[in-house]
């Protein structure tokens, strides 16, 4: 990747952010013959999905585990242009009452926790017998207690949610816990998507392939504000925090952040599955072991502890009605800027999975190119 050079022509697009949203749009537009400058203040491409080899030669995800899963054939077909895949189905255990139990809650979770031997039909009846009637599901607490009752809610969800968000589930939008299903069978996969896989050589290699186009210039370690007035460009695509773009004129949008503590251990395996959740004990929410996820063979292993924080890089928009109302003010400002396209998690203040960001970027590309009128044919004579 070369440093951009200022030419009399400049660039057709200035893209702020080299994560999924920015990189997909850069590749698509460059493939159309557009000249693209993509800028990121971090010293690497890939955004939070960036991966690298640590000092021990183990492939790690510095910003926590990123597991790719999707139901979209379009997304898979697109990304497959830039990477081969390794099949991987993520499994998670939760440390509850001295046991490691499957999460999402399934038949085995209930039977092991309570010392029962229920069948799939009987566990459905069990859930119905312990579920609390909720007239209108509004909060994350409502979602869980209306499905599996108060005890399972307290053991698996309440403590984890309070650590993750520093709020009780009764204070959070229903969408937070609605993401985690409850199963009556023994399916212990964390995701149920049709396609579950990991880039064979890692995310960074995939991003490198995506951005390896002669029409794309990459500038890292740079704040776009430092160069936007000096490098000519036609249109900006912005994937950073929308409140920062408008200088926090309505105040900061609330986010939760994370601190990642990485450790390498002189043993081949640290835990039985990719991730173990700790809903009730310790300050961290989970421990993930990368070799499960990447499939790498190595005599040592590396893990990461995740500790939720109030301050730091913005990771999770806090889903509360007041925050959405604040975002709407920024969204109105964004609509008033036809010279800028806002796309991605931070620019739209939404928690998207990776495949959803890719899908949003592909849709945005179609809208951008559809909005570019073809020159009208001039009458002859």
Last residue of a domain, one of 145, 178, 211: 178
Q: Which of 224, 375, 304 is closest to 61 using CA atoms?
A: 304
The predicted structure's pLDDT at residue 153: 94
Do 248 and 331 belong to one domain? yes
**Alpha-helix residue ranges (DSSP H) falling in the chain:** 20-31, 73-79, 107-114, 120-130, 140-152, 159-165, 175-178, 203-211, 224-227, 242-245, 290-294, 321-335, 345-348, 354-370
Burial group, residue 31, by CB count within 10 angstroms (0-12, 13-18, 19+): middle
- Does 265 map to a domain? no
Q: Is residue 77 one of the residues assigned to a domain?
A: yes
2 within domain boundaries: no
Distance CA 182, CA 246 (A): 41
Query: Nearest-CA neighbor of 147 among 124, 170, 118, 115?
Result: 124
Same domain, 72 and 209: yes
For position 38, which CATH number holds? 3.40.50.720
Report how far residue 238's alpha carbon sits from residue 229's, in angstroms, rounded to the nearest whole number: 15
Distance, in Å, from the CA atom of 79 to the CA atom of 279, rounded to the nearest integer, reads 34
Q: Are residues 74 and 111 located together in one domain of the fold? A: no
Nearest to 77 by CA among 24, 134, 14, 130: 24
Q: Is residue 337 part of a domain?
A: yes
Residues 78 and 136 in one domain: no
Closest listed residue to residue 138, CA positions, set 175, 183, 101 = 175
State how many domains the chain has: 2
CA angle 244, 329, 23 (to 5 degrees): 45
- Identify whether the C-beta of residue 230 lies closer than 8 Å to the C-beta of residue 270: no
| 114 shares a domain with 160 | yes
Q: For 136, phi and psi rounded to 5 degrees?
A: -140, 120
Q: Which domain holds residue 130?
A: 106-178
Same domain, 62 and 210: yes
Say yes or no: 216 and 334 in one domain.
yes
Distance CA 200, CA 147 (A): 38
Could you list the mean pLDDT of each consecutive 10-residue stretch along the chain, which spans 381 residues?
49 98 98 97 98 98 98 98 98 97 97 97 96 90 93 95 92 80 94 97 98 98 95 97 98 97 98 98 97 98 98 93 96 97 97 96 95 46 32
pTM: 0.92
Q: What is the rounded CA–CA span in Å between residue 36 and residue 234?
A: 10
pLDDT of residue 178: 73
Say what the pLDDT of residue 371 is: 62
- pLDDT on residue 144: 93
Closest to 263 in 3D by CA, of 94, 58, 90: 58
Residues 241, 322, single domain; the answer is yes
Q: Quickly count: other Cβ atoms within 10 Å of residue 338's Cβ.
A: 8
Residues 159 and 216 in one domain: no
76 lies in some domain: yes
Looking at the structure, do residues 246 and 326 belong to the same domain, yes or no? yes
Tell me the β-bridge partners of 82: none
Are residue 68 and residue 158 in the same domain, yes or no? no
Beta-bridge partners for 15: 38, 237
Asked whether residue 306 is domain-assigned, the answer is no
């Amino acid at each position: 990747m070369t440093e951009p050079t200022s030419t009399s022509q400049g660039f057709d697009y200035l893209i702020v952010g080299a994560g999924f949203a920015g990189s997909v749009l850069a590749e698509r537009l460059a493939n159309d013959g557009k000249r693209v400058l993509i800028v990121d203040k971090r010293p690497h491409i890939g955004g939070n999905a960036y991966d690298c080899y640590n000092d021990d030669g183990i492939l790690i995800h510095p910003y926590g585990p990123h597991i790719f899963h999707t139901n979209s054939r379009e997304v898979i077909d697109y990304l497959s242009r830039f990477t081969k895949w390794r099949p991987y189905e993520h499994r998670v255990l939760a440390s509850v009452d001295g046991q490691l139990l499957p999460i999402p809650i399934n038949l085995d979770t209930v039977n092991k926790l309570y010392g029962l031997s229920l069948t799939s039909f009987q566990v459905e009846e069990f859930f119905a017998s312990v579920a609390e009637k909720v007239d209108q599901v509004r909060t994350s607490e409502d979602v869980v207690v209306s499905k599996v009752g108060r005890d399972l809610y307290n053991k698996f969800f309440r403590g984890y949610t309070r650590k993750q968000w520093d709020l009780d589930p009764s204070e959070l939008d229903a969408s937070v816990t609605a993401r985690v299903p409850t199963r009556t069978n023994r399916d212990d996969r964390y995701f149920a998507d049709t396609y579950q896989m990991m880039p064979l050589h890692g995310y960074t290699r995939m991003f490198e392939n995506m951005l390896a186009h002669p029409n794309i210039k990459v500038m890292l370690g740079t704040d776009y504000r430092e160069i936007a007035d000096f490098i000519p460009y036609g249109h900006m695509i912005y994937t950073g925090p929308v409140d920062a773009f408008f200088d926090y004129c309505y105040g900061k949008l609330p986010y939760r952040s994370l601190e990642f503590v990485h450790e390498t251990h002189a043993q081949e395996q640290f835990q039985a599955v990719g991730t173990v959740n700790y809903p009730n004990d310790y300050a961290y929410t989970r421990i993930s072991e990368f070799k499960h996820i990447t499939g790498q063979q190595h005599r040592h292993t590396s893990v990461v502890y995740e500790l939720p924080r109030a301050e730091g890089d913005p990771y999770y928009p806090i889903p509360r009605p007041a925050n959405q109302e604040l975002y709407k003010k920024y969204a109105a400002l964004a609509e008033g800027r036809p010279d800028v396209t806002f796309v991605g998690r931070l620019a739209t203040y939404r928690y998207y999975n990776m495949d959803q960001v890719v899908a949003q970027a592909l849709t945005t590309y179609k809208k951008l190119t559809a909005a570019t009128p073809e020159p009208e044919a001039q009458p002859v004579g």
